[in-house]
C-alpha cells in the first residue's frame, strides 16, 4: 500500500449519550487514541425540541422556569462530558468536549465531524437483537450511513 493510500487517524470524535454504551464507547476511543497518538473530542447532543414546546411543558412542571431547565440540561450534559474527559486525561489522552444543540442528533454529529475534519467517529449503539436490530440505534445507523469518515459503532 502506498503512503498516499494510508489513512492517518489523528482526530477522533466520540459521541456519547446517557446510555450504558457511553463507558464502552469511551473506552474504545481512549484505547484507539493511545494506540494511534490521536486526540479525542467528545460531544453530547441536546435536542432542540427539549428547548421548544416540550421544554416549555417540562419547564412548567419543574416550576415554570424554562431558562433554569435549559441551564440544568446543559450542566448535566457538561457533567456527562467531563466524566469522559477526566477518564481520557487519566490515560494520557488529550480530550476536548462540547455540548451541541440541534434538532437532529445524527445531523449534529455528522456536521461537527465534517466541519472539524475528524478522521473517525466512535458512537454507541443499542443492543442488536429483535426490534433493536431493526432500529440499530437510529442515530448510530444514520451516522454510519452518512458520515464523511469511518465510524466505529460500539455495542
| DSSP string for residues in 95-117 | EEEEEEEES-HHHHHHHHHHHTT
Per-residue model confidence (pLDDT) at position 68: 79
Q: What pLDDT digit, counting tens, does each position of 90-114 carry?
A: 999 989 999 999 989 999 999 999 9
Per-residue model confidence (pLDDT) at position 147: 97
- Across all residues in the chain, what is the average pLDDT? 84
Q: In the structure, what pLDDT confidence band is assigned to residue 85 with cuts at 50, 70 and 90?
A: very high
Average pLDDT estimate for 12-29? 92
Average pLDDT estimate for 110-124? 97
Per-residue model confidence (pLDDT) at position 135: 43
Per-residue model confidence (pLDDT) at position 1: 42
Instruction: Say which residue, 17 or 51, is predicted with more confidence.
Output: 17
Q: How many CB atoms lie within 10 A of CB 114?
A: 14
Per-residue model confidence (pLDDT) at position 129: 43
Average pLDDT estimate for 28-39? 97
**Contacts of 66 by beta carbon, 8 Å cutoff, 6+ apart:** 51, 55, 56, 59, 60
Task: Please state which of the four CATH numbers 3.10.690.10, 2.60.120.860, 3.40.50.620, 3.40.50.300 is assigned to the domain occupying 3-47+81-154.
Answer: 3.40.50.620
Per-residue model confidence (pLDDT) at position 84: 96
Highest mean pLDDT among 45-54, 106-115, 119-128 belongs to 106-115
Strands lying side by side in the sheet with 120-124: 95-102, 39-47, 11-15, 120-124, 151-154
| Phi–psi pair at 75, nearest 5 degrees | -60, -40
Instruction: Tell me the C-alpha distance between 25 and 114, whole Å.
Output: 20
Q: In the structure, what pLDDT confidence band is assigned to residue 2 with cuts at 50, 70 and 90?
A: very low
Instruction: Tell me the C-alpha distance between 115 and 149, whole Å.
Output: 12
Amino acid at each position: 500500500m502506498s503512503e498516499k493510500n494510508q489513512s492517518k487517524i489523528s482526530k477522533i470524535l466520540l459521541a456519547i449519550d446517557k446510555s450504558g454504551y457511553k463507558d464502552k464507547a469511551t473506552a474504545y476511543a481512549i484505547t484507539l487514541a493511545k494506540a494511534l497518538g490521536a486526540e479525542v473530542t467528545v460531544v453530547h447532543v441536546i435536542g432542540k425540541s427539549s428547548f421548544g414546546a416540550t421544554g416549555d411543558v417540562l419547564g412548567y412542571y419543574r416550576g415554570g422556569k424554562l431558562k433554569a431547565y435549559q441551564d440544568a440540561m446543559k450542566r448535566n450534559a457538561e457533567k456527562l462530558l467531563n466524566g469522559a474527559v477526566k477518564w481520557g486525561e487519566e490515560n494520557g489522552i488529550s480530550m476536548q468536549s462540547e455540548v451541541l444543540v440541534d434538532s437532529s442528533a445524527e445531523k449534529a454529529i455528522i456536521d461537527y465531524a465534517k466541519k472539524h475534519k475528524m478522521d473517525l467517529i466512535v458512537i454507541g449503539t443499542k443492543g442488536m437483537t429483535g426490534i433493536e436490530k431493526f432500529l440499530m440505534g437510529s442515530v448510530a445507523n444514520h451516522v454510519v450511513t452518512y458520515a464523511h469518515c469511518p465510524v466505529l459503532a460500539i455495542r
